[in-house]
Structure 1
Amino acid sequence: MNSLTNRTRPRADGDRRFPVRRRLLPVLGLLLVPLTIAGLLSWSLGSAEERLTDVEAAVVNHDEPVKVDGRSVPLGRQLAGKLVGDEITSNYSWEFATEKTAEEGLRSGKYVAVVTIPRNFSAAATSFSRDPAQARQARIDVTTGEHSRFADEAINRYVTSTAADLLGQQLTTTYLDNVLVGFNSLGDQLGDASAGASSLAGGAEQLASGIGELSGGAEQLAQGSRELAGGLGELENGAAQLAGGLDQLREQTAQLPQQATALADAAARESKGVQQLSKGLSTLAGNLQDLRKQCPPGIVPLCNKIAVQAAIAQKLDKGAGQVEKASTGIAGGLAKMAGRAPDSGGGLPALAKGVGKLSDGAEQLHSGISRSHDGATELSGGAEQLASGIGELSDGAEELSNGTEELSSGLKQATEELPTYPEEQRQTLADTVAEPVTTSNGTKVEVGGTGLPMYAVLALWVGALATFLVLRPVPARTLESTRSSLVLTLRNFALPVGIAIAQGVLVAAMLGWFRELSLGDWVATAGIAALVAVACTAVNHALAAALGGAGRFVSMLGALIVVANGFVSAVPAVLEQLAVALPTGPALNALRAVVTTGTAPSGGAIALLVVWALIGPAVSCLVVERHRTVRPAQLLATYGVRGHRLGTT
């Protein structure tokens, strides 16, 4: 056994002869490994959004403006302006380009992305203001080049979608502002309509009153029409009697002209006879006078009688003359009645004709009065219907008046309830409705800010892996040492733990600088980072001690699992479960709680880290115990080849 001790001691003595400077350099290197990894990742990815302006992208605008309400609307130019402008906080450095230069820029790597705005962009974006059936969404094309990184496409789509959202928000705000202005106009119009309805109600009330008076007049008209029909009925009867009497008169006067002619002839003959009688009486009277004068005295009595007769004859002569005149007058009158005299005017024939015409006129009068009576009867019926209809119209006018009053009241109430928006409130409301939900960071994108805890865990894990590339995972004097395996393990584990704590503090300092942590948060971060570093060191110590190179390969796989789960949540379930099972899972949870949210880590995460920190040394202790057991075959392989015997000094 002394021989074995002597064989192994020179190597340990050689270790003691290393200068202190040469022993410190590897330790300093091990301290720099996690600091370099975490610092480089945090520096390159932690604030990548601030360096997006150094990345160039192009926008190709083919859009043709359209006219809406007589105004030109160049939405393509507005979208390009939002990309190029400063409305988006985290944005590329955009520039206008032609389609050819954009393609060349993508191929050469000058542009990480190209946004192409098609010709119909404005027409599609404003299609909602025209025929609803023709409404459609506007689209833009986003192209990334072969030189783009894996996160560039997501950033491209975020930036372009943000610009499109801003433009859509502007369109929606304008549309809503017009709607709210329409509310104001509608309120004014409803107010005017209410006033008009009030006037209409007053007019309808007056109409109802007038129709009531008209109904009374219609009743009077119906009554007068009935009386008129009755009077015309009596007049019709009188006209019928008149027509009958005139018919009889016509029949009776039809023979008067002939009778008058006969009388006129008789009167003419009588007049001639009287004329002859008058002449005879005149001659007789003259003769009697002559005879009286010649009468002898002896016949005086006779002569006196003759004288008396002569006087009588003279009187008769005078009477005959008068009769003659009368007969002549009668004959002339009858002649006129017969229509023989020029100045007779037609006489009885004309009278007969006139009576005939009068009879015809009476017949026509009777017919006309009969028709008038029928018309008056119909007028009476129509007047009664008119009175009834006007009564219903009066009721309808009353209902119209009541309805218009209700309409006026309803319009007034609607006007009072309809909201009105001043310009300032209208703009605020339109902005709020157009974008009801927003985020606290606005249009800023944090590309790697949330990845700082992952960078720290990855750095501490790789630092632990590198530690046991430099330091022995198993003590060199395990066989000859008289100390227990636990003591050997803890003594061998002391330096890696010290390095791990230093690594954790350095990484915490880096996190505090990048995240601008307060002193209290930094102390908590340093404590958690030191615990994470110790746990990672314990696990890597166990892997390197138990499996050697294979253990280091497993540790490398663990680092890859951390990276795979750290950049995106959509990973296979197996990787997600492995990430939870490894010590890096609770390490990430603990650091995220302190660094990202500023809260205390969960007790479960701390407990798991402590468990892993204890499991590592336990496994290493078992490995040391195994290394302290040597089989004869190993001794023969080591010493028999060299020709020495066991037990020699």
Structure 2
Amino acid sequence: MSSVRIALNELRRLTAGKLPKLAMLALVLVPLLYASFYLYANYDPYGRLNKLPAAVVSADIGATDSEGTQRNIGREVTDELVGSGTFQWHEVSAEEAQNGVRDDKYSFAITIPREFSTALLSTGNFQPQQATITLTTNDANNYLSGTIADQVAEQVRATIAEKVGSEAADRFLVGFSTIYGKIEEASRGATQLADGAGQLVSGQQQLADGASQLSTGSTQLSTGLNTLRDSTKELPSKSKQLADGASQVAAGNAKVASAAQVAAGASTDLQNSLDNANGQLAQALRNGGLSEEEVQHALSVLGQLRKPVDDANAKIQQANSDLSRLADGARQVSEGAAQLAASAPTLVDGIGKAADGAQQLVDGSSKLATGEQDALKGSTQLRDGANQLRDGLGAGLKEIPNPDDPTRQATANTIADPVAVNSVGVASAGTYGAGLAPFFIALATWIGAFVLFLLLRPLSTRALTAGASPVRVAVGGWLASALLGIAQVIVLFGAVTWLVGIHVAHPLGAIGFAILVSLSFTAIVHALNALFGAVGKFLGLVLLVLQLVSAGGTFPWQTIPDALYPLHIVLPMGYAIDGFRHLLYSGASLQILGDIGVLVAYLVGALAVSAYAASKRRMWTVSQLKPELSL
């Protein structure tokens, strides 16, 4: 007989009847059932994180920034989180968040502390503080929830850091703009200083021109007087006739000498004013921030500019001395007026020229005084411009930050990393393997219960035939699997803790709970086999698949499709996983009582179903005597 013929005969045997055909179809569909449900449940868990409840606590009281504006960055962050829709955010109090994470009401919580804004805005005052947000997780709820929460907290931290860094850079650039404005004001002051200096030079030039004109007038006066002298040389015999004229000349010369003295006095006052201006200018330049070398250089340049004025003053003084001597000579001439009487017309003409020269001397003195006033005005503007330059530069200097080295380094570090995440775990798994241990322990316990009934008979045919009580038959059929199941979980926990190295927070409680899970699972599989026979084994496999996709063993159960929510609530494996998480990580809490209650209810209910199946099996049928499908 060929191999193909053997295979065909076996398939023909397995499909001889309606139930075997359905069994073959079920065997073909098992991989599809597993893959389709699993892919359906885990198609896009990250796209359903908005179903995952999370708490946010905003205790920030706000702070005032460097521009005097009241800010509450904690409130801004909270509003952005709640409005983002990335999770099912709930803004609650700190106590509600702590209790909610502990009791699995919230997957995690983010807390923004009281001084959050104060810390973030501290760099603007060069008192750097690193802000902190607190992330509270509980691996007893779901290990991957904590991992997701870590990523969320990091994204929040990065977003805040980017926002605060951008604002710090903006304040930095605004500071530069302020400094620019102050320096611009100082520049305008410097321009006015230069204009004042130019006017000072112009005034000094006018002063030099006036002095020059005064010198020219003095020369003309000298020429006229020389003419007078030459005309009177040959008139010694006519002095009597010239007595009156000589007296008038003497009087005119005295007036001229007096005018010259006034001009000389004015010139002397101008020199004193310029000397005082030198000292005031030097002090103003020092107050403006110029060095002593720059001040002396400026005074040297000013000295060169006023040299023509000094030269003019020397000539004015000399002219005054000459005119004084001239007045004395005129007096002597008056005494010899008798000798000049015959030359009176010539003498009158000379006196007229002397008078014209004296008038020019007066005009020059007037211009000299005007030039002095212009120079004084220019010096005043120079002083005002220097003061404005000083004030502008001083104000700009105050706007430039000048922290010490430690403050500058701390500020730079805080701007670069303004927010820290403080992770607080209500319960921590520690490792990825420990995080998934509750899921795999629960899965292994179900598989252990499933394989037991590949060998064990759910109900004793002998006891049923003997008319034993259905309850005793049901309990007796389950008790053997229960004992083997207990042995399975004890061996399992030994391997998990000693060989794999998974730390168990409460070993005795965890083992006791694992025994309860095994008793419940073996009772459920026992009931399926007792009630449905060979089909019950297939149903046990289907039930395993449904629990795998709905129990929330890996991703939080809230991320599964809404259609699978009822399965999570009804089927027992989710409660087994939840109980293992609490016992492996944080110890028993009031929440675990609900898990225990559900598993006990399943245990009692499954035994009741097994008793019902035993009661039905007491009436023998043809299908029982000769079943279509036997495994």
Bigger Rg, structure 1 or 2: 1
TM-score bracket for this pair, using the shorter chain length:
0.3 to 0.5
TM value normalised by structure 1 = 0.37
* TM-score (normalizing by structure 2): 0.38
